[in-house]
Amino acid sequence: MGLPYRFGVAAEGKFERFNGGGGAETVSLEARWALADWNKIPLNPTLFAEYKFGVGTIRHEEVPPPSRGETEEEEEGGPPKVPDAYEFRLLLAQDFHERFEWAMNWFFEKENTGDRGREWGFSQSLMTPIFLPNERLKLGLEMEYKNVTTKDTRGDPLNSFVIGPTVAWKPTAQTRLDISPLFGCTDDSPVADVFVVFSWLFGGERAEAEAPVSTRFRYYTGAGFADSYSGKETSGKEMKQVAPPPCPQWYGDFEWNVNLWGTYAFTNTEYNPNLWLVDVVQSTSEGHPVLGTFDHYIGGDHAWGGGGDIKYFFCRYFGLGVEGFALDTSKNGFDIFEDPTIPIFTRKRINHDHTIGSVLGTFTLRYPIPCTRFAPYAWAGVGAIFGGGERDVLTTQGPPDAFAVHAQTDHFGSETKLLGQFGAGLEFRIARRVGLTNDLSFGVIDGPQNNFGMFRSGLNFAF
């Protein structure tokens, strides 16, 4: 509920279902205060405080219990009560050039009783609107770090770091669906944390500081990954040791990848290479030329080529690399000269054969599916593309008559431009060190007339 002077208050209830049982767990009272109106001060800081009242019982361990060399049983009289806890947050958010939306949430939470769990960390996200109008669809990247301890493990905290893509879709002005699959990068991290949040806004759309999805409705979540670290599974009143089933590892936590591939590129620009050249002169003299005033960088409607990339995966799921490719391309052109005072009118078709090359730096996100040889992946890169963009431009002077106008063709050579590329695909490991890759990508140069797509297929060598 919003109050004057940028204050807001709220109440929340948390209900849990676990191992066949469930019920209310906590009731929370919270307040937030924005230091200023939106975009009046940098980063739009907002302060947040919350107190949680434990109203249920603990149904699973918050963090791995200390090793005592034997099986633990529930406390006499049943499971313990959920402790009260307090939490403070600092939320920062900023729009950059009305194109990128960044948010960061620092948090600290402390339990008052029980094992006195303590958790601190941060989450942040960066998103940009795409495709749909009114920023209805946004894509980006999100990460979260958490440091978790109890009164018995202050010197040996659990450090969890997860990172992954995030998507926000607003079907209407009042509803919003957020999905963030985050993947672990440390030994203490879960394999994956998937956050799905559906929101309904009562009132009009407005600018405000929004937390990343992973902390939008944050609770003390050590329990969400603790059982995986301890290797224990809760069953009834006892906890027993469970050995995970053996599983072959086809993808390494730290590895170099060298990928060699062939490619087919296709453009998305209307182009009529068979237009009669007299029509080119006529339409240009009338002020609305049909050929020669626009260009798409590659030239024709398709091209074949090949390339490769080198990537280093600094954890199983994320890698940085360098990519390069070359395309054998051909573009139709023309050469026209007309001087009615001589009189002379020469016209001929020409062909621009050239090789287009590109070099990019890339960031790759992949997810090796456990106990399989498959790993879907996505990547984005930025770099330079060169060797394309040749074009022929006709200039005319005189009456709008194809046979009475002065006309001359100007030829422009290749250009080097900034290239952005993003795509997704699937890798299949034939062996531990060799994989098959197939993917689809899109290149963005400087407008829809120059953009192009690429199908790629190749071999990946891991070291």
Strands (E), 97-245: 100-111, 118-129, 137-149, 158-169, 175-184, 192-200, 232-235, 238-241
> What one-character DSSP code corresponds to residue 130?
-
Rounded-to-integer distance, Cα 173 and Cα 199, Å: 11
Question: What is the structure's pLDDT at 170?
Answer: 86
pLDDT value of residue 366: 93
> In this predicted structure, what is the pLDDT of residue 245?
53
Pairing state between β 406-412 and 434-444: unpaired
Q: What pTM was computed for the model?
A: 0.49
The alpha carbon of residue 57 and the mean position of all alpha carbons in its chain are separated, in whole angstroms, by: 38
Q: What is the pLDDT of residue 356?
A: 92
Longest Cα separation, the chain: 111
Query: Which domains occur in the chain, in start order?
Result: 2-241 (2.40.160), 255-462 (2.40.160.20)
Coil, helix or strand at residue 422: strand
> What was the pLDDT predicted at 383?
95
294 alpha-carbon distance from chain centroid: 32
pLDDT for res 273 = 54
Q: Are 146 and 189 in contact (CB under 8 A)?
A: no
Averaged over successive runs of 10 residues, the pLDDT of the chain (463 residues) comes to 81 72 80 86 90 78 46 54 88 83 91 87 89 76 91 87 90 85 86 83 56 66 37 34 62 93 82 67 76 66 91 92 92 84 85 88 93 92 90 84 85 88 94 93 82 93 94
Burial class for 440, CB neighbours closer than 10 Å (0-12, 13-18, 19+): exposed
